[in-house]
Structure 1
């Protein structure tokens, strides 16, 4: 049994398969999930688990070289924006419709139970060396 880190076997296994340049979408409960990417649905109840909890957990296990979110988060969800900007000073903001298009190329989608709008981010994996 794992001692620490992400215990969900589906999520842990999916993360181990990621390589440089692969993309991971962490999304709220309302984000449309595109056909194609592997999906790990963690949503349990509204707000559980939160976007922040899942983002923090994934960042502890991944090397991330870039992140993209919807610019609508600026007005609709300043808490999520502050969290993202705290981790990604060069956060790229695009229209929400563009983020949905970009999410189609994600290798993995991790759905949270987040019930606040625009709590979504597309992460681009880097390398540790």
Structure 2
């Protein structure tokens, strides 16, 4: 049994399968998820687990070379904006509809219980060497 890191076996396994250039969407409970990407649904109750908890847990385990979020987060969710700006100095912002369209090509979607709007980020995996 693992003693640290991500303990959810579905999420840990999905992370182990990721490669350079693959994308991972961490999303709030309301984000529409199209057919196609593998989904690990962690949502338990509204707000649990939070977007911040899941984002930080994944960042501890992934090499990330880029991140994209919805432009609308700036006006609708100041807390998510602060979190994303702190984690990603070169955050790409695009319209929410464009972010939803990019979700179709994501390799993995991790759904949180986050109940605040636009708490979504598409991560692009890098390599550790």
When normalised by structure 1's length, the TM-score is 0.99
CA distance, structure 2, for counterparts of residue 114 and residue 24 of structure 1 = 17
Partner of 2:14: 14
Cα RMSD of the aligned pairs, angstroms, is: 0.3
Task: Tell me the secondary structure at the aligned position of residue 26 of structure 2.
Answer: strand
Task: Tell me the secondary structure at the aligned position of residue 104 of structure 2.
Answer: helix
* 1:28 to partner: Cα distance: 0.1
Task: For structure 2, list consecutive stretches of 5 or more residues without a partner in the other structure.
Answer: none
Runs of 4+ in 1 over 6 A off after TM superposition: none
Task: For structure 1, list consecutive stretches of 5 or more residues without a partner in the other structure.
Answer: none
Whether 1:118 aligns to 2:118 is yes
Matches of residues 58-69 of structure 1 in structure 2 within 5 Å? 58-69=58-69
Matches of residues 1-129 of structure 1 in structure 2 within 5 Å? 1-129=1-129
Work out the number of aligned pairs and report it.
129
Task: Tell me the secondary structure at the aligned position of residue 25 of structure 1.
Answer: strand
* 1:99 to partner: Cα distance: 0.2
* 1:53 to partner: Cα distance: 0.2
